[in-house]
Structure 1
């Protein structure tokens, strides 16, 4: 079934390009630090060196290897993106499913909470929360970002599941005595599998961009290294003004390539699986 579902995607050239770019950076993040065994935080006297045989992407103001930082940064940013996406998808699925199945006061309450979060400037709340935390691990940053991405997804799947609830096989399951949990898992969630995956891709994108944004203003992870932190250090040390292009260009290119590839993957899936777009 899964192979049948994804087969049309690999006939789309845009999807192949998008997934190829994403998998390339995913492999860089997973295998890069293993193959290139250089500490991204080790300081040397070879500071601000341009790319060379010894330092393929040069060094920063503290003599740290930029390539090592980039490889570890890609891994960390993807980790934050995936974790934030899992949190957002989980909250949105629970809220949307409960609202669709329970209806009544449960639906009204959950949608009221959803609308409040949806209309709240989430990035400002994330900045406020992060500013009060002296130590911010990557997991904490992911949680902060994941807590505010889910409302649009919850509203969307609620609408979709409410339309599915009117189908005959759902009525038969209800008459057979299915519990709400079993009804959701067996009859409802499979109908939104492709939409959930599309949303998961967008959530990863939001997590990567959110981390970069928080890091640029000094509210990113306080431990480790990420693509956003690389850009923050480059900004603080005026790498752009001083022409140290090898310091700020690689993380910038990585962020743009990752987010662009994820957007291409999501929009292509929408084109392939959305009947209205297929008709056009």
Structure 2
């Protein structure tokens, strides 16, 4: 049974995949699903949820359900895009450091450690303070360009463990270039780790973008779950009891985050032999105890 088969047979990964797929479909077909424009202010103000407005309206007469649907599109695009950028950067730097060694490894490791010790949110806030009226997509680009270090450390360690394997030595003897060996021999053997890193980086990017938007470090006229929380906070939705304004985006962020965490845990369990052996030993102990009691 291959990795994909094990992934689909794992209960946690399948649950996470289904939840994420639902939000992905919502994001792709947002113009079809959303009943109104998310920026239209033509409706009565501060309405509670009803058949006409499933999640009510804001204090300026905007349909919150439409904002939620379009916010899902923005948040998922930003999170997934930033996750891919961070993973590609981390893969390039980590493999180069682990395979090249020497002074190349020393310099790249220093950069990794530098980005790891810098407080992530504080770094993003400093950068955002110099970017005027940044959009969610600019925020995603910044998050991706600053969030690669942890993945790079993992890829470096894995590359160092693979660099002296027989298939790599054979590739060297056949005359393959270092770049070709790194990305046609070593990288394909880390696909499960790469997939896990994409998921982990996507989760971090979604939380970071939502946090930046909530704090106002984003063009607040854009539509995302983070800006929905920003406007709900600014207009006292919590104080006035307008739960339909701030709970939906919070639940959306939580469910997408949960789906990614479930998939990440499942990938770790599938690809980590130590975890698998521990589960097998635990299962055997349970069976022995059941047999003894019987």
Deviation (angstroms), 1:100: 1.5
Q: Deviations over 1:199-232 (max 9, x none)?
A: 1001110111001110111003445210000001
260, 263, 266: which is aligned to 1:265?
A: 263
Deviation (angstroms), 1:45: 4.6
Residue correspondence of structure 1 range 4-153 to structure 2 within 5 A = 4-153=2-151
Asked whether the equivalents of residues 213 and 220 of structure 2 are also in contact (C-alpha less than 8 Å), the reply is no
Q: Whole-Å Cα distance in 2 between the matches of residues 141 and 279 of structure 1?
A: 41
Deviation (angstroms), 1:4: 2.9
Secondary structure at the counterpart of residue 240 of structure 1: helix
Q: Which moved more, 1:113-122 or 1:132-141?
A: 132-141
Task: Work out which of the two has the higher radius of gyration on C-alpha atoms and give 1 or 2.
Answer: 2
The alignment's TM-score, normalised by the length of structure 2, stands at 0.92
Asked whether the equivalents of residues 85 and 203 of structure 1 are also in contact (C-alpha less than 8 Å), the reply is yes
Residue correspondence of structure 1 range 79-228 to structure 2 within 5 A = 79-228=77-226
Structure 2: 5+ residue runs without aligned partners?
279-294
Q: Whole-Å Cα distance in 2 between the matches of residues 103 and 222 of structure 1?
A: 46
231, 244, 256: which is aligned to 1:246?
A: 244
Q: Whole-Å Cα distance in 1 between the matches of residues 145 and 124 of structure 2?
A: 9
Deviation (angstroms), 1:177: 1.1
Deviation (angstroms), 1:54: 1.3
Structure 1: 5+ residue runs without aligned partners?
none
The alignment's TM-score, normalised by the length of structure 1, stands at 0.96
Secondary structure at the counterpart of residue 204 of structure 1: helix
Q: Which moved more, 1:266-275 or 1:131-140?
A: 131-140
Q: Whole-Å Cα distance in 1 between the matches of residues 184 and 50 of structure 2?
A: 57
Q: How much is the aligned-residue C-alpha RMSD, in angstroms?
A: 1.3
Q: Whole-Å Cα distance in 1 between the matches of residues 128 and 220 of structure 2?
A: 11
Q: Which runs of 4+ in 1 moved over 4 A?
A: none
5 and 221 in structure 1: CA distance in 2 versus 1, 3 angstrom threshold: farther
Q: Deviations over 1:77-134 (max 9, x none)?
A: 0011011111101110110111122111111001011111110112101001111211
Q: Which moved more, 1:32-41 or 1:242-251?
A: 32-41
Deviation (angstroms), 1:76: 0.2
Asked whether the equivalents of residues 47 and 64 of structure 1 are also in contact (C-alpha less than 8 Å), the reply is yes
Count of residue pairs the alignment pairs up:
278
270 and 134 in structure 1: CA distance in 2 versus 1, 3 angstrom threshold: same
